[in-house]
Structure 1
Amino acid sequence: MFNFPKKKTQVSTEVLIRFIWVSSFLAMIFALPPLGIFLGIYLLTGELILGAIIGFGVHFVILAFSGRISKIITQFMS
């Protein structure tokens, strides 16, 4: 009925290591700055809601540029 092409089952070690490093850097870039802003605002002012709103805002602004950030990190790792 359908003849699907076989998928590539072997991935080189170099590609796998690069994938892990780029993914780790992206996770740190997406999570650590908003978390730091949230905790900084919460600990300095005691405003939980304000810290959460600004932290989420920064998180989604960073996510808007995720494609560009990923390309830059991938080029750097190459």
Structure 2
Amino acid sequence: MFNPSKKKTDVSAEVLVNTIWVSSFLAMIFTLPPLGLFLGIYFMTGELVIGAVIGFGVHFVTLAFSGRISKAITKIMS
């Protein structure tokens, strides 16, 4: 039977801090380069659609490699 009142409380502070740092780095890797490309293309050429397509493309390519990126960052942080 499922007991929802049982909570896991044996997570160390080191694991929590490592998780927060890895998540923060992943968020920056997934958002800042595509956003920079989008804004750079938009302000240099004035083409909103081209900037959006390239920005979304880079964003989804980095998402495709998110597992590998996460493992590499976790390995570096440990």
- Normalising by the residue count of structure 2, what TM-score does the alignment of the two structures yield? 0.92
Let me know the Cα RMSD of the aligned residues: 1.4
Q: Residue 44 and residue 71 in structure 1: after superposition, are their counterparts in 2 closer, same or farther (change >3 A)?
A: same
Mapping of 1:41-56 within 5 angstroms? 41-56=41-56
Superposed displacement of residue 10, structure 1: 3.0
The count of aligned residue pairs is 77
**Which residue number corresponds to residue 71 of structure 1?**
71
**Which residue number corresponds to residue 30 of structure 1?**
30
**Which residue number corresponds to residue 8 of structure 2?**
8
Superposed displacement of residue 70, structure 1: 0.1
- Show structure 1 runs of 5+ residues with no match: none
- Show structure 2 runs of 5+ residues with no match: none
Q: How many percent identity over aligned positions?
A: 75
Superposed displacement of residue 8, structure 1: 1.9
- Normalising by the residue count of structure 1, what TM-score does the alignment of the two structures yield? 0.92
Q: Residue 13 and residue 54 in structure 1: after superposition, are their counterparts in 2 closer, same or farther (change >3 A)?
A: same
Superposed displacement of residue 15, structure 1: 0.3
